[in-house]
Amino acid sequence: MIALFDIGSTLIEGPPYGPARRLSEMLDLDKSAVRQLEPLLFRTPSESPEHLAQHIAEAFQIDRARATTECAKLWEAQLSEAYTLPGALDAVARLTSAGIPRAYLSNIWPPFYEHFRRTFTAESDAPQFLSFRMGLSKPDKKFFEAALRELGAEPKDVVMIGDTYRNDIRPAIDLGMHTIWVLHHPEKEREALVEVLNNAAPRPDVTLHSIAELQPEHLK
C-alpha cells in the first residue's frame, strides 16, 4: 500500500486566506480575479517572483514593476508564514518505520512548497507530484491518473490522505483509491460533511481529527 499525501493543510499550514485572494487584494483587482490568479499561482512553474509577475502582468494588463513588487512581498511572506502541523513529522516517520512507501500529490506553489522541502528532508526521494510542476491541479482526475502512472500503481493499492473532500477524497474514491480524510478544518468542510452523513456522497475509509492521529494500521 502506498500513502499518497496532500501537503497544504494536511502536513503544513499557512494564513487563513490563500495566496490568490491575498495577491488580488494587493494588486487592487476585483474578486473575480481570484479564480484567474489561482491557476497562475498553482499551475505555473515559476522560478522566482519576477517570473510569476511576468505572467500576471500579461494576464491582467497591469504594470509589470508593480506586479513584481507585490509578488515578491507575497513570495517572501509565504516563505516565513508556512508552518508544520503538529504531529505531521511524527506521522510520516511512523509510516516510514513501518515500511509504508510515501508519495505526495498537492496543489501548491513554489514558496509554500519550499517549507515542505526544508522541513520534510527525509522525503526528498519520495515521488512528488506538484501542481506548479505538472500544470495540473486537483480535483482534476488527470492529476491523480498521472501520479498513478508514474508510481506504477493500481488505485486499489494507494491511500489518498488529504484534508479536503472535493479536492482529495472524492476524486480518489471515484478512481478506486482508498482514502483517509484529515479534518483539520471541519468548518470549511461543512457542506461535504453533510453530504457524507446523509449518504449523498461516498464515505472515506477513515476520518481523523488531525494528522497526528495517523497510524500505520490505518493503511493496513
pLDDT at position 47 = 85
Using CA atoms, how far residue 48 sits from 39, 42, 71, 74, in Å, is 16, 13, 9, 11
Question: The whole model's pTM is what?
Answer: 0.95
At 176, is the pLDDT very low, low, confident or very high (cuts 50, 70, 90)?
very high
129: β partners:
105
pLDDT digits (tens, 9 = 90+) for 56-67: 999 999 999 999
**Could you tell me whether strands 178-182 and 12-13 are parallel, antiparallel, or unpaired per DSSP bridges?**
unpaired
DSSP structural state of residue 210: S
pLDDT at position 17 = 87
